[in-house]
Amino acid sequence: MKSLQLDIEDPVAIRTFAAEAAAQFPALNVLINNAGIMRPEKLLAQQPDLADAEAMVTTNLLGPIRLTAVLLPQLQKQPSSAVINVSSGLAFLPLAITPTYCATKAAIHSYTLSLRYQLRATTTEVLELVPPYVATDLMSGASDPRAMPLGAFIVEVMKILKTQPTPPEICVENVKSLRFAAESGKFSAIFEGLNAAMADVH
């Protein structure tokens, strides 16, 4: 395993990174867009420069779009390849204290649908990973007992990825209540319950 570093907020750095990655790893055939930041926002007391909101849009949405655009020619050279975009259960039912984060993840879901459709006749598979609330350092959730343990999440995701054909959306059991809240007819009740329960996360 080797690593390369880039600034996902910098379009020039993304292009440089893509060229370097393609040169060093000509067989590169998988892109996982996983970078993301999540910050609480008090909209009634929001600063006029919108720094947090703009950083989340740049990192969570523009970053994956830009990186996909510059790496797609490399992926298309391979006999088979994949793009995996990480959205969130909050793309489908938002957490009110993080409105811009949730909006960027909803946009990633929509972008992924369009990308998959446009690439349907190619050898590049487009998948969406839809995490629940996982115990990570994102929004100080690492020590929250309500969060899904990271190890358990990884094990379940890998099990799903091994199925044939791969589901276009990778949803562990813990996220299905959020992902399918609208379809279940329980959106309002789940929305109210989630936001009441999570009001003290940060």
Q: Check residue 3 and give its pLDDT.
A: 86
The domains of the chain, with CATH numbers, are 11-197 (3.40.50.720)
Half-sphere exposure of 43 toward its Cβ, with a 13 Å CA cutoff?
5
Q: Give tens-digit pLDDT for 2-35.
A: 888 999 999 999 999 999 999 999 999 999 999 9
Q: Report yes or no: 59 and 33 within 8 Å, Cβ to Cβ.
A: no
Residue tagged 């369009």 (tokens)? 114
Q: Check residue 144 and give its pLDDT.
A: 86
pTM for the structure as a whole: 0.93
Q: Check residue 201 and give its pLDDT.
A: 55
For every residue of the chain, DSSP letters joined together read -------TT-HHHHHHHHHHHHHH-TT--EEEE---------GGG--TT-HHHHHHHIIIIIHHHHHHHHHHHHHHTSSSEEEEEE--GGGTS--TT-HHHHHHHHHHHHHHHHHHHHTTTSSEEEEEE---SBSSTGGG-TT-TTSBPHHHHHHHHHHHHTSSSPPSEE--GGGHHHHTHHHHT-HHHHHHHHHHHTTT--
Residue in 46, 135, 134 with CA at minimum distance from that of residue 90:
134
Query: Quick check: is 101 catalytic?
Result: yes
Q: Whole-angstrom distance between the N-terminal and C-terminal Cα of the chain?
A: 35
Looking at this protein, which amino acid is placed at residue 55? A
Q: Give tens-digit pLDDT for 143-202.
A: 788 899 999 999 999 999 999 999 999 999 999 999 999 999 999 999 999 999 887 654
Q: Give tens-digit pLDDT for 41-93.
A: 999 987 788 999 999 999 999 999 999 999 999 999 999 999 999 999 999 99
Looking at this protein, which amino acid is placed at residue 164? Q
Q: Give tens-digit pLDDT for 92-138.
A: 999 999 999 999 999 999 999 999 999 999 999 999 999 999 999 88
Q: Check residue 200 and give its pLDDT.
A: 61
Q: Which of 101, 111, 117, 133 is catalytic?
A: 101
